[in-house]
């Protein structure tokens, strides 16, 4: 059985990807320091599925943040890399550089870099999902925690952007669609179907939704009215970004399937499960 090492495998995206890999028949080894996850996630992964050296292939979890505020939308993989607007974006750029240089220097190493757009949602079982420790940095956990009563109010950072409703626009992708793309990437490597030793793919839906559109979707699907307030912009936030997914769709044979309503509903079911409801 082929072994796959997943770093951060008990985290949000990692845990969902582990499930997909195990469903595909891979023997998954998880390495995680639990800095932003809990060991109990392993029990949830087991409930859903039933479980160094010589590395030749690396799938790297990159991010659309490497593009900054793109000059053209939608964003293709050929878009220029711009100076990072946040420490997070800077770490992704540095990591890509390290992998790129290593691939160039080592003759038998291949890498696929997957540039995520905005992963949200949870597994359909509601046994795993996004569980940030402390105050969430991402929109959806703050939305669901506000709706469930953990947070008093949701802050919407700015309504004066050059978008139809004034709030920032992002390409949101269901975490299970994202996890599925990882399985496709691993298969591509192990079956030696790569066209070159370093490949880059944008992972998104190709659709942009504003913060207020996400809130409206959540309220519609959950039946809950959110207590939110417009506040000042947050430093480092760009106006809008969404993916050109043609290359990933055509080359990988992969396409995101779930829409925004499915994403917000699955996130709400996860939050309800956490609360024992």
Using a 10 angstrom Cβ sphere, with 0-12 exposed, 13-18 middle and 19 or more buried, the burial of residue 56 is exposed
Tell me how far apart the alpha carbons of residues 127 and 48 are, in angstroms, rounded to a whole number. Answer: 8
Q: Strand ranges (DSSP E) for 98-167?
A: 110-116, 118-120, 154-157
5 bridge partner residues: 29
Secondary element (H or E) of residue 222:
helix 211-222
Closest C-alpha among 214, 249, 262, 192 to residue 74: 249
Tally of CB atoms within 10 A around 162: 8
- CA proximity to 64, closest of 245, 264, 232: 245
3-state secondary structure of 154: strand
CA distance 137 to 148: 17
- State both tokens at 254: 């992969």
Q: Which of 88, 116, 172, 228 is catalytic?
A: 88
Spell out where the chain has E strands: 3-7, 27-31, 57-63, 110-116, 118-120, 154-157, 169-170, 172-174, 198-203, 209-210, 228-231
Q: Could you tell me which of 189, 190, 181 has the C-alpha nearest to residue 248?
A: 181
Three-class SS state of 110 = strand
d(CA 245, CA 243): 6
Active site residue 88: yes
Hey, which residues are catalytic here? 88
């Amino acid at each position: 059985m082929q072994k796959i090492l997943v770093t951060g495998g008990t985290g949000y995206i990692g845990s969902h990807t582990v499930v997909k890999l195990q469903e595909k028949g891979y023997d998954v080894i998880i390495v995680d320091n639990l800095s932003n996850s809990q060991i109990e996630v392993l029990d949830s992964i087991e409930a859903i599925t039933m479980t160094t050296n010589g590395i030749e292939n690396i799938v790297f979890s990159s991010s659309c943040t490497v593009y900054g505020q793109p000059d053209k939308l939608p964003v293709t993989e050929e878009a220029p890399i711009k100076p990072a607007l946040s420490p997070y974006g800077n770490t992704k750029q540095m990591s890509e550089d390290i992998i790129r240089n290593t691939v160039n220097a080592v003759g038998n190493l291949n890498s696929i870099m997957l540039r995520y757009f905005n992963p949200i949602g949870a597994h359909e079982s509601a046994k795993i999902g996004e569980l940030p420790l402390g105050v969430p940095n991402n929109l959806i956990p703050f939305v669901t925690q506000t709706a469930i009563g953990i947070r008093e109010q949701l802050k919407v950072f700015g309504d004066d952007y050059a978008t139809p409703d004034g709030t920032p626009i992002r390409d949101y992708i269901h975490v299970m669609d994202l996890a599925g793309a990882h399985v496709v990437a691993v298969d591509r490597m192990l079956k030696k179907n790569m066209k070159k030793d370093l490949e880059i793919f944008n992972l998104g839906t190709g659709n942009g939704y504003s913060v207020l559109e996400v809130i409206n979707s959540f309220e519609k699907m959950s039946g809950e009215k959110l207590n939110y307030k417009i506040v000042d912009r947050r430093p480092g936030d760009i106006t809008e970004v969404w993916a050109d997914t043609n290359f990933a769709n055509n080359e990988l044979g992969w396409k995101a399937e779930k829409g925004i309503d499915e994403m917000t509903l699955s996130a709400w079911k996860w939050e309800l499960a956490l609360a024992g409801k």
